[in-house]
Amino acid sequence: MQTGAANLSNHRQEHIVGMLLRAGVIIAAIIVLAGAVLYLMQHGSERPNYREFHGVPHNLQTVSGVVKDAFALRSEAVIQLGLLLLILTPVARVALSAVSFTLQGDRMYVIITLIVLGVLLFSLFGMKQA
């Protein structure tokens, strides 16, 4: 069982992590907004058609494709890059938790946290496309 003092020090760490997360979310939102302005200037007057599912273009489905096209300033890829950054914020929180458990010398929870991190990374990078 945790002692009150250990729990409070966790709380302080969590506070810092909370601020980092918020910063990540705000940066993600700014990138999405920039992509949105680009996109609406280019395509704002067209008609939306999202009724049928075709899947988004392949280059918007992978991390590498998104990054490459975003740097070429393709508006949809810029938005997708912001969304990708947002997806990474909880992943970062889990990674920071692993550091926290390592500092506490809690081997069991270092392992549990690495399992969670592994599943997250597998989902993002590992899983074969359906």
Give the footprint of other proteins on residues 15-34 (CB under 8 A): 15, 17-19, 21-22, 24-25, 28-29, 32-33
b/e map of 57-85 (b: 16 or more CB within 10 Å)? eeebeeeeebeebbeeebbbbbbbbbbbb
Tell me the closest approach of the beta carbon of residue 53 to other proteins, in angstroms. Answer: 4
**Does 83 engage in binding with other proteins (CB under 8 A)?**
yes
**Does 73 engage in binding with other proteins (CB under 8 A)?**
no
**Alpha carbons 68 and 66: distance in angstroms, whole number:** 6
Question: Nearer to other proteins by C-beta: 7 or 72?
Answer: 7
Q: Which of 4, 64, 72, 105 binds other proteins (CB under 8 A)?
A: 4
Tell me the closest approach of the beta carbon of residue 72 to other proteins, in angstroms. Answer: 15
Contact between residue 77 and residue 66 where contact means Cβ atoms under 8 Å apart: yes
SS3 of the chain: helix, strand, coil, percent, to 5: 80, 0, 20
The CA-CA-CA angle for residues 95, 121, 90, to 5°, reads 45
**Alpha carbons 62 and 68: distance in angstroms, whole number:** 10
- Scan residues 47-66 and list those touching other proteins (CB under 8 A): 47-48, 50-56, 60-63
Q: Which of 43, 67, 73, 107 binds other proteins (CB under 8 A)?
A: 43
Tell me the closest approach of the beta carbon of residue 73 to other proteins, in angstroms. Answer: 14
